[in-house]
Amino acid sequence: MVSTPENKNYKVIGTRPIRHDGYDKVTGRAQYGADIKLPGMLIGAVARSPYAHAKIKSIDTSEAEKMDGVFAVMTAKDLPRLGDIVRGNSEESGSERHLSENVMAFEKVLYKGHVVAGVAAKDQNTAFEAVKKIKVDYEVLKPVINVDQAMAKDASILHEDYLGDHLGKKVKNTNIAAHVRHESGNIDDGFEKADLVIEKEVDMQTVHQGYLEPHTGTAVWDEEDRVKIWTSTQGSFAVRDSVSKVLDLDVSRIKVTPMEIGGGFGGKIPIYLEPISAVLSKKTRRPVKTVMSRTDVFDASGPGPGGKVKVKIGIDSEGKILAAYADIRLEAGAYPEAFIEAAAKCVFSCYDVPSMKIDAYDVVVNKPSSAPYRAPASPQVAFATETVVDEICNIKGYDPIDFRLKNVAEKGTRTALGPKYRTIGLKECLEAAKDSDHWKSDLDSNPKSGKKRGRGIASGYWFNIGFKSSVNLSLNPDGKVALTEGSTDIGGSRASIAMQAAEVLGIPAEDVRPSVVDTDSIGITDVTGGSRTTYATGYAAYNAAHKLIEQIIEKSALKWDISKDQIEYSDGVVKSKTDSELKMTLKEIADDPPGGPIVSSASVDLEEAGGGFAVHIADLEIDEETGKTDVVNYTAIQDVGKAIHPSYVEGQMQGGAAQGIGWALNEEYFMSDDGIMLNSSYLDYRMPTSLDLPMINTIMIEVPSEEHPYGVRGVGEPPIVPPVPAIGNAINDALGLRLLNTPMKPSRITEALKRKK
Amino acid sequence: MAENKVKKVTVNTTINGQEMDILIDPYVSLLETLREVVGITGTKEGCNDGNCGACTVNLDGRIVDSCLVLGVEAEGKNIETVEGMASPDGLHPLQQAFLEEAALQCGICTPGFLVSAKALLDNEPDPSEERIRHWLAGNLCRCTGYDKIVKAVTKASKESK
């Protein structure tokens, strides 16, 4: 769907109203996943594998079943055995069978924390005690915990019955679930003609989305085989689809009510506990609520893939890129899908590259099945590309912004997968970076003794998905509008969607009241993810608001008994074009409209929103003795299309930067050789605190997207892409050290400094 | 099988100004007591091991992670949670500032931040940015990057003067 951005002075868009759901959230009234309490509710708990890779020989649940206060026990035998049908919902794909096996292991456990059984008991304590009494006999197998181990010739195989797709060839007994290749031009020619060729390989540890709210799942399975689910999710319809597959029930038998969601970043797209609570409810006919612990969240949900990415770039003597090659190996975790197509799309996305070749491998390892994490796979590939670009600039003495501008991707540039870019704003971001106070400021090159400062810059991209969204509007008798939508609100999207309807209607944002409703109460709406919500659901709201105006005009025509053509609507007032006496406010027309209340609904299924680009500048101060790195100045520049609610756009840019800074400097799954995560708590998985970060400056560039009437692009994902390479480049600037592993933690810095001496 | 029968205990405590007797198992945390027994769920569980601050409450003027305090320790104490911040007349200046400054995205950490920040402003009406960052370092937020939270606390400190 393509339209020309509306060019006018907005009344609502670009303002900063208080978000509609804000009052509930600052008073503690908002109900998140764990806050639900239903009459007669039981508490569920699950038994998890202590091993990263093992065959399940037998499970004995008899002792648990005999316990006082235990109402039901289940294993995978209580789930239907599914075939290997490929499924696909927005950012996630894979097979139905794998979806089910990830909920509860059938024959094999593939990661530490893999669920093997569930119980429902009168309270949490009893449920935990019962879990301890479940005896599982395992045959422990050798795990593979990184891409090198998994791709080795004699590697232990996770899925003996799975056929990998290697460039179209079906391959058995492999941990490489897929190998894809994208080629354009002749890279051999390009590299041969090149004046300079630089190649680097980066190695990244697994990271976690780190949302504060652990996963939950509450369910009632009633006597009519209807399943009601309450959960914290990025997509109530995605939960409905997934649960319907795992339980082999028609989607219409399942109703998902989304609770408020305490963070997700992609990690709350998959299902985990919902089908387990449902089966336990079927066995007891009582509501069952199951909640993860923080350790469960680390061990068995998310994470974002680690892996290795090699990038080679060749330039001519004028500093123009001639050829680029990438070899991308990402950890899918226990089940396939490490977002390698996204990786291929993103790896050279910021540049005009005449010839390129990309090999990407989706590799299964004995870690939790990876979930999307904010611009999935883009930060990983950007680390490699932006490091190589920085190295080129260092060697040739190019200004890093000028080099990027010289090779900048813009409208018409061919992308890795073929299509050409529509209007994008990378060039404008780079120019803004060059013009920023931060870039123009002098780096304090003589800080306190023993410390070194450095500055780094990097670019990043996310393509921003479209897909399906639905919105209903209803004009209330007081002239205000009720809006219902299916997009769960993870960070202010109720406001950004309501504001688009309000803009069309010409009424204040506060006069459109948005509600996120259950799957029986709204049309299909894809996940809150891929940076699609303000774009796609906002577009549906825009369309629904226009339809509401048509209704208002139609009903006014009936009321006044004149033709529709003689009526116009603007800013909450409907009037006759010819008779100044004929005039009604929304309240007046809504009071008793002829032929029934004024309602409208609209749905969309959109293409990509036109990519979003970000450029970040990082100043670091590094203690050479301890290796501790402080971020002393940070600026995030981003093409946001059109900022509907600028405060929440800035919030996305700052939050993405903060996550990326954590990824660069601290965060990792620290694994034992046996595949056990040794730092599965917030104490040891060290996410940035308020003390670790400076203020994050934001510069919003508005290059409207061609695909949306207000020019909206997704804004949530690009800001996590540049931080890792920007920080790597700043470390190199400060110390002359090219660190190629994440996290770039103190020990890595001190070790590298020792090696350098 | 004979289970260890643990006798429940009665705890007399004051929560958000309301004195009450509650009957709890002696091993449950204050967090579980508030959420499951008293039935106020504004105090959130993010980690249950004292590292995220989502469960921060004020106990006799001191902020604590309620997951690390036993319910029985509430005996004779004054507990303030996020539910006690607003009055029937309106929001606390911090709550208002959090809304105006867009200092929350998903909002799950917000109750803990508000309770922590209130304890700071109760004692230090005009804290510096550095002081605010230091004080709030026990509260994790994964959405905002803290910028707008720090700004909201600063704004509330100026406005409550």
The per-residue pLDDT for B159 is: 82
d(CA A186, CA A191): 9
DSSP letter string, chain B: -----PPPEEEEEEETTEEEEEEE-TT-BHHHIIIIII----S--S-SSSSS-TTEEEETTEEEEGGGSBGGGGTT-EEE-GGGTSBTTB--HHHHHHHHTT--SS-SSHHHHHHHHHHHHHH-SS--HHHHHHHGGGS--SSS-SHHHHHHHHHHHHHT-
d(CA A347, CA A329): 12
pLDDT digits (tens, 9 = 90+) for B50-68: 999 999 999 999 999 999 9
Distance of CA A207 to the CA centre of its chain: 13
d(CA A258, CA A517): 7
Task: Flag residues of chain A having pLDDT under 70.
Answer: 1-8, 84-94
CA distance B135 to chain A (A): 9
Decide: helix, strand or coil at residue A186. Answer: coil
Is A32 an 8 Å CB contact of chain B?
yes
The per-residue pLDDT for A311 is: 98
Of the residues A27, A35, A43, the best mutation for testing chain B's interface (the one with the most B CB atoms within 10 Å of its CB) is A27
CA distance A84 to chain B (A): 36
* CA nearest to B84 within chain A: A27
Q: What are phi and psi of B31, to 5 degrees?
A: -60, -50
Is A445 an 8 Å CB contact of chain B?
no
d(CA A64, CA A651): 47
Whether the bond between A303 and the residue before it is cis, its omega within 30 degrees of 0, is yes
d(CA B54, CA B43): 7
Q: What are phi and psi of A735, to 5 degrees?
A: -115, -10
CA distance A436 to chain B (A): 19
Which chain A residues in 447-486 lie under 8 Å from chain B, judged by CB atoms? Answer: none
- B chain contacts of residue A25, beta-carbon cutoff 8 Å: 104, 107, 110
d(CA B130, CA B135): 9
In the 3-class helix/strand/coil scheme, how is A200-262 assigned residue by residue? EEEEECCECCCCCCCCEEEEEECCCCCEEEEECCCCHHHHHHHHHHHHCCCHHHEEEEECECC
pTM > 0.90? yes
The per-residue pLDDT for A697 is: 98
ipTM of the predicted structure? Answer: 0.97
Which chain A residues in 42-81 lie under 8 Å from chain B, judged by CB atoms? Answer: 66-69
Q: What are phi and psi of A160, to 5 degrees?
A: -65, -25
In this prediction, residue B1 has a pLDDT band, given cuts at 50, 70 and 90, of very low
Fold of A22-30+466-606: Aldehyde Oxidoreductase; domain 4 (3.30.365)
Residue pairs between chains A and B whose CB atoms are closer than 8 Å: 188
Compute how many other C-beta atoms are within 10 angstroms of the C-beta atom of residue B78.
Answer: 16
d(CA B95, CA B115): 10
Angle, nearest 10°, between helix axes A723-735 and A646-665?
50
Q: Among candidates A372, A371, A393, A312, which has minimal Cα distance to A347?
A: A312
Angle, nearest 10°, between helix axes B93-100 and B147-159?
140
Q: Say if residue A199 is exposed, middle or buried (CB neighbours under 10 Å; 0-12, 13-18, 19+).
A: middle
Q: Do A294 and B140 touch (CB under 8 A)?
A: no
d(CA A242, CA A222): 19
CA distance B134 to chain A (A): 6
Of the residues B129, B142, B151, the best mutation for testing chain A's interface (the one with the most A CB atoms within 10 Å of its CB) is B142
Q: Do A681 and B40 touch (CB under 8 A)?
A: no
Distance between start and end Cα atoms, chain B: 62
Q: Do A22 and B101 touch (CB under 8 A)?
A: no
Contact present, A489 and A528 (Cβ < 8 Å): yes
Q: Among candidates A183, A208, A595, A99, which has minimal Cα distance to A354?
A: A183
Q: What are phi and psi of A458, to 5 degrees?
A: -155, 155
Decide: helix, strand or coil at residue A632. Answer: strand
Q: Do A68 and B3 touch (CB under 8 A)?
A: yes
Q: Are strands A92-95 and A86-89 parallel, antiparallel or unpaired?
A: antiparallel
Alpha-carbon Rg of chain B, whole angstroms?
Answer: 16
Decide: helix, strand or coil at residue A285. Answer: coil
Contacts of A375 (CB under 8 A, 6+ apart): A342, A346, A460, A462, A717, A718, A720, A721
- A chain contacts of residue B108, beta-carbon cutoff 8 Å: 32, 211-213, 260, 262-263
* CA nearest to B143 within chain A: A655
Amino acid at A447: P
Is A293 an 8 Å CB contact of chain B?
yes
Handedness of CA B86, B87, B92, B96 (dihedral sign): positive
- B chain contacts of residue A31, beta-carbon cutoff 8 Å: 41
The per-residue pLDDT for B5 is: 72
d(CA B23, CA A757): 65
Of the residues A133, A490, A690, the best mutation for testing chain B's interface (the one with the most B CB atoms within 10 Å of its CB) is A690
- B chain contacts of residue A681, beta-carbon cutoff 8 Å: 47, 49, 51
Tell me the domains of chain B and their CATH numbers.
9-84 (3.10.20.30), 93-159 (1.10.150.120)
DSSP letter string, A413-462: PBPTTSPBP-S--HHHHHHHHHTSHHHHSPP-SS-STTEEEEEEEEEEEE
- A chain contacts of residue B100, beta-carbon cutoff 8 Å: 18
The per-residue pLDDT for A91 is: 41
Q: Among candidates A372, A297, A277, which has minimal Cα distance to A332?
A: A372
Edge-to-edge strands of the sheet including A135-140?
Answer: A108-109, A54-60, A135-140
Q: Using CB atoms, which residue from B40, B47, B107 is nearest to A294?
A: B47
Tokens encoding B86: 């607003």
Angle, nearest 10°, between helix axes A96-103 and A274-284?
70
Decide: helix, strand or coil at residue A671. Answer: strand
d(CA A314, CA A391): 12
Contacts of A173 (CB under 8 A, 6+ apart): A157, A160
d(CA B18, CA A397): 69
Which chain A residues in 174-233 lie under 8 Å from chain B, judged by CB atoms? Answer: 209-214
The per-residue pLDDT for A7 is: 56
- A chain contacts of residue B44, beta-carbon cutoff 8 Å: 32, 34, 212-213, 262
d(CA A340, CA A362): 6
Contacts of A191 (CB under 8 A, 6+ apart): A197, A312, A314, A322, A323, A325
Is A492 an 8 Å CB contact of chain B?
yes
- A chain contacts of residue B53, beta-carbon cutoff 8 Å: none
Is A163 an 8 Å CB contact of chain B?
no
CA distance B73 to chain A (A): 20
d(CA A334, CA A362): 11
Of the residues A19, A26, A659, the best mutation for testing chain B's interface (the one with the most B CB atoms within 10 Å of its CB) is A26
Is A128 an 8 Å CB contact of chain B?
no
Distance of CA A167 to the CA centre of its chain: 27
Q: Using CB atoms, which residue from B42, B45, B133 is nearest to A690?
A: B133
- Residue whose token pair is 């590697």: A155
Q: Hey, which residues does A459 pair with through a beta bridge?
A: A615
Handedness of CA A315, A615, A209, A724 (dihedral sign): positive
